[in-house]
């Protein structure tokens, strides 16, 4: 496999901004695939993440973006950056609630 030429298309000359834009697109597309309403703009998303970008990751102590109320859309007033471990526990409680209500099986 040949390496990409240095002149390949980029969204920005800044590699960090390219990485952030890619993560924004992935998060938005995953929400749309799950049929969730996404109303966050690139600018709002970036403003939330920019000061804490270095704390992002896949470990349970890293930050992730989560909706405050899962029944509402991805909007600026309904998202928060929380520790991934807390997010997983929150999801389990919500899924248990849905199961208890008979909304999922």
> What pLDDT tens digit does each residue of the chain (105 aa) get?
556 555 555 567 889 999 999 999 999 999 999 999 999 999 999 999 999 999 999 999 999 999 999 999 999 999 999 999 999 998 888 888 888 888 776
Selection from 75, 49, 47 nearest residue 62 by Cα: 49
- Residue 42, token pair as written in the block: 């690139």
**pTM of the entire structure?**
0.79
């Amino acid at each position: 496999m040949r390496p990409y030429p240095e002149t390949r298309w980029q969204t920005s000359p800044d590699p960090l901004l390219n990485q952030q834009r890619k993560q924004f697109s992935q998060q938005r597309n995953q929400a749309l695939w799950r049929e969730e309403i996404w109303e966050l703009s690139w600018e709002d998303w970036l403003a939330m993440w920019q000061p804490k970008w270095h704390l992002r990751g896949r470990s349970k102590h890293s930050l992730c973006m989560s909706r405050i109320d899962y029944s509402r859309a991805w909007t600026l007033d309904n998202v928060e950056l929380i520790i991934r471990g807390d997010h997983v526990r929150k999801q389990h409680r919500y899924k248990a609630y849905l199961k208890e209500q008979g909304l999922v099986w």
